[in-house]
């Protein structure tokens, strides 16, 4: 985290902080308008971010809310990346029960008198 500039490209920071596997995926997510910087929708991957900025974006099945605490100079190990942000994301809601099997679904359909597919 040494020799980092005062501002950095959004797609590069998201990739270096290990939120996306490739920089191209990070840039695509930004271009689709799925990323907000300080509550403003951003569509350019070249948008500059700095420490103190708050990012909101989807990853997988959840929405992440991240506050940048430091800029990175490389895509290093995970502990180094995790030290560059504070996570304010809502907690993950666990599943209520196990996923039903095919047998369980057929039994539910029979109980509801639905025709089988």
Residue 35 lies in a domain: yes
Residue 106 lies in a domain: no
User: Domain range for residue 59?
Assistant: 8-92
Residue 110 lies in a domain: no
Q: What is the DSSP string of the chain?
A: -TT--SSEEHHHHHHHTTSSSSHHHHHHHHHTT-EEETTEEE--TT-EE-TT-EEEEEETTEEEEEEE----SS---HHHHHTTEEE-PPPPPPPSSPPPPHHHHHHHHHHTTPPP-
Residue 57 lies in a domain: yes
CATH number at residue 60: 3.10.290.10
Give me the pLDDT at residue 64, please.
95
Count of the separate structural domains present in the chain:
1
Q: How far apart are CA 95 and CA 3, in angstroms?
A: 44
Residue 17 lies in a domain: yes
On the question of pLDDT at 2 being above 60, the answer is: no
- Taking only the tens place, the pLDDT of each residue in 19-77 is 999 999 999 999 999 999 999 999 999 999 999 999 999 988 889 999 999 999 999 99
Full-model pTM:
0.76
Q: How far apart are CA 116 and CA 101, in angstroms?
A: 15
Give me the pLDDT at residue 113, please.
79
Residue 26 lies in a domain: yes
- Taking only the tens place, the pLDDT of each residue in 69-98 is 999 999 999 999 999 999 999 988 887 888
């Amino acid at each position: 985290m040494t020799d980092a500039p005062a501002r950095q490209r959004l797609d590069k920071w998201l990739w270096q902080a290990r939120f996306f596997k490739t920089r191209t995926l990070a840039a695509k997510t930004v271009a689709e308008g799925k990323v907000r910087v300080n509550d403003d929708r951003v569509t350019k991957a070249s948008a500059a971010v700095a420490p103190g900025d708050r990012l909101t974006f989807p990853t997988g099945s959840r929405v992440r809310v991240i506050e940048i605490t430091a800029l990175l100079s490389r895509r290093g190990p995970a502990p180094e990346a995790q030290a560059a942000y504070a996570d304010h994301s809502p907690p993950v809601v666990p599943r209520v029960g196990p996923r039903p099997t095919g047998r369980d679904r057929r039994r539910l359909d029979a109980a509801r008198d639905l025709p089988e597919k």
